[in-house]
């Protein structure tokens, strides 16, 4: 018998209306949205269900909104689903994984990610940071380009190692622009796509946000995980509370080793992945990483029921 992993998406998967029909039908989902509203002191549920979109896209709203929608779906799904062998999340999604793995209480997680979003937003003045997706490049060649430009004084780093041939770079606006020019000039990639983000996430420029987050985490009860959580920072499972806390701090300025994390789980025997959350971003990435595993998406009631039929 193979193993199963539940994975949770990060920022970029949000859309107005997410979680609405689920909350209308299921008490468990309603309870999660109500708890988020109570913890945050404003109606996050209204923002998720009705928008406006430009408000939802603000990092400090997006992060709790995605976490809450993921957990609403998870609470309904887990009632009839098998217990996973591993959980993992992409960047922000790691908080959903930690709630599912019982290392963090949802009430704490939703409060933390609101602050995390705020700290990340405030770490770099608007317009000074940038990110770009690089399609079809080799990881080591990209790493060399980033290192050369960073030595010249402009920060640019590998930020998300998503799947074979899909890497995101992050840094100062100038650093990302220079790297993009070199990559295009040397024909090291098929495409370079500037991303519409509010900051240079997962780069050294986020270290001020990480140190502020560390102070918040000092006052939060983190438990040993009941389900191994494969972390972005190391692409291996952790269960101890102190390791989890360290991973959450480092995650803010370190690359998201998503491809490596998925490969680790496959090597450990995982042959079923279930993405739980809005959008189907991780489903697409996992399919690019391996064609030998089954991948399901749970993003609304229909997909939830369909997935349960397939895996139970």
Please list the active-site residues.
91, 202
CA-to-CA distance for 129 and 155, rounded, in angstroms?
Answer: 9
Nearest Cα to Cα of residue 112 among 129, 126, 131, 98: 98
Kindly calculate the radius of gyration of the chain based on its CA atoms and give it in whole angstroms: 19
Rounded Cα distance between 200 and 213, Å, is 17
Collapsing DSSP to helix, strand or coil, 228 comes out as coil
Q: Record the tokens describing residue 38, joined without a space.
A: 């109570």
Strand 294-298, strand 270-276: pairing: parallel
Residues in CB range of 74: below 8 A, 6 or more apart: 6, 8, 96, 99, 100, 276
Q: What is the DSSP string of 119-145?
A: HHHHHS-TTSEEEEEEES--HHHHHHH
């Amino acid at each position: 018998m193979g193993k199963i992993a539940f994975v949770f998406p990060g920022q970029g998967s949000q859309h107005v209306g997410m979680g609405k029909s689920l909350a209308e039908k299921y008490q468990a989902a309603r309870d999660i949205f109500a708890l988020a509203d109570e913890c945050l002191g404003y109606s996050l549920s209204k923002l998720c269900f009705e928008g406006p979109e430009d408000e939802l896209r603000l990092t400090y709203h997006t992060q709790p909104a995605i976490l809450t929608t993921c957990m609403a779906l998870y609470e309904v799904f887990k009632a009839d689903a098998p217990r996973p062998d591993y959980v993992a999340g992409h960047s922000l999604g790691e908080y959903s994984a930690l709630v599912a793995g019982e290392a963090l209480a949802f009430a704490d997680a939703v409060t933390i990610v609101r602050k995390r979003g705020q700290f990340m937003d405030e770490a770099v003045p608007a317009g000074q940071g940038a990110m770009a997706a690089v399609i079809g490049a080799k990881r080591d060649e990209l790493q060399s380009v980033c290192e050369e430009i960073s030595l010249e004084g402009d920060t640019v780093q590998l930020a998300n190692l998503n799947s074979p041939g899909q890497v995101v770079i992050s840094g100062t606006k100038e650093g990302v622009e220079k790297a993009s020019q070199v990559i295009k000039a040397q024909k090291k990639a098929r495409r370079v796509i500037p991303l519409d983000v509010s900051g240079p996430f997962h780069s050294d420029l986020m270290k001020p946000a990480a140190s502020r987050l560390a102070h918040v985490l000092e006052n939060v009860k983190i438990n040993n995980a009941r389900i191994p959580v494969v972390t972005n920072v190391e692409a291996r499972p952790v269960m101890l509370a102190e390791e989890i806390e360290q991973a959450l701090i480092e995650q803010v300025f370190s690359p998201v080793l998503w491809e490596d994390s998925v490969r680790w789980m496959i090597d450990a025997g995982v042959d079923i992945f279930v993405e739980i959350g809005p959008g189907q971003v991780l489903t697409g990435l996992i399919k690019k990483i391996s064609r030998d595993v089954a991948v399901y998406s749970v993003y609304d009631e229909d997909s939830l029921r369909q997935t349960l039929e397939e895996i139970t």
